[in-house]
Amino acid sequence: MHTFRKYKNTHLQVPVKASLHFNEQTGNEVMALLIEKLKNIFLEAKQQQREVVFLCIGSDRYIGDSLGPLIGSMMVENGISHPVYGTLEEPVHAFNLKIALKDIYRKSENPLLISIDASLGTKEQVGDVLFNEGPLVPGKALEKMLPEVGDYHFQGIVNYLDPLPSSQFLNDTRLHTVMKLAKLITQIILDSDKE
């Protein structure tokens, strides 16, 4: 159970432990906090001689599931200094996730893996981003049995649950929401990667 602090003039709740929850309206304070946190993660990885690798999970065949590959492509196009798996050109999804993980661990002995995926939440959470320490469980909302991945992870809340089957949400998600989340997460990662 996390302890939450309310930030003045925002609707954001920030867990005191190693996780952050924010959205576009959060303000610069929380963004700066996350950028600083990521910079420290990158620095620690360098000191421990661990290569930071981004694993962007999802499929470009469904708008709601395209967040990961969109972010992967945006990071590559902007010249991120870390390896990226999962782009619009070469997505990493349920059918090739295990192959991608084998490739990552074959190329890097002890990678520090940051995974990124779309997620479902409540109606009020749509447009929010979660950043947490620990692995991501991809495909959980769709009840897929996939391996947990990542030392840290980002989740973008692209849609919400209601009585419809979960797979329907991937089709009913607005591209506008996914693009806003992709740009926001990409910008935070790129700003963290600057010297």
Q: What is the residue extent of each domain of the chain?
A: 8-40+49-192
CATH number of 8-40+49-192: 3.40.50.1450
Element (H, E) at 166: helix 166-172
Residue with the larger pLDDT of the pair 47 and 194: 47
Q: Greater confidence, 50 or 19? A: 50
CA end-to-end span of the chain: 35
In angstroms, the CA 82 to CA 79 distance is: 9
Q: In whole angstroms, what is the distance from residue 164 CA to residue 106 CA?
A: 40
The CB density around residue 41, as the number of other CB atoms within 10 Å, is: 18
pLDDT tens per residue across span 22-35: 666 666 778 888 89
* Cβ neighbours around 194 below 10 Å, total: 8
Give the distance from CA 26 to its chain's centroid: 17
pLDDT value for 165: 58
Residue 14 token pair = 């920030």
Report pLDDT for 152.
95
Cα–Cα distance measured from residue 51 to residue 183, given in angstroms and rounded to the nearest whole number: 24
What mean pLDDT, rounded, does the chain reach? 83
Q: What is the pLDDT of residue 2?
A: 28
Instruction: Quick: pLDDT tens for 58-97.
Output: 999 989 899 999 999 999 999 999 999 999 999 999 899 9
pLDDT at residue 143 greater than cutoff 70: no
Q: Tell me, what's the pLDDT at 82?
A: 96
